[in-house]
Amino acid sequence: MDNLSNERRDRTRLELQNLIKDRTQVLSQYCLLAGTCSKAANDNIQETDNDKFLLQEFCENLIDYLARGHFELYQRINNGAERRQDIVELANKFYPRISATTDYAVDFNDAYDQSLTKIGSFDHYGERLSKLGEELAIRFELEDKLISSLLAASDDLPEALSA
């Protein structure tokens, strides 16, 4: 394998590690939000300062995670930088569903990001947070399949996923 190939694979592993790190943070924050939501009555969040901060931080990290996946992974594949045809085919198969999860997450952010909302505008918050969790679970599953395929040619899969 030449130096250029090694550099590309190293860059891919680093991008995937960063994506997984961002995803783990989003999942952790989602679980915290789901816990606060389960305490709220009538499908509305009880807006404490801590809840507002957590939701705003979650929305920011969610958008960062989505952007990293789009710009560092999917766009690179769509632009022809990925030369392994099986990876391109898999990405093309998954991308429409991944894109749908992105759309839902962006809509959630637009509806509930504290910098964009007014106090008391949390209609259907619990329902929409639950749906976001379902969408993220689908996205994580598809990403895991794509990540496994991207790293299948190397022995670095366990290292990349645990970093």
pLDDT in tens, 20-46: 999 999 999 999 998 876 555 444 445
> Residue 89 has which token pair?
């085919």
Domains of the chain by residue range: 3-162
Distance between the two ends of the chain, CA-based, in angstroms?
A: 24
pTM for the complete prediction? Answer: 0.82
Domain 3-162 has CATH 1.10.10.10: no
Residue (of 91, 77, 97) closest to 12 by Cα position = 77
The number of CA neighbours under 13 Å toward the Cβ of 76 is 17
Residue (of 17, 139, 142) closest to 91 by Cα position = 142
Q: What is the pLDDT of residues 125-143, one digit of tens each?
A: 889 999 999 999 999 999 9
Is 43 within 8 Å of 125 (Cβ atoms)?
Answer: yes
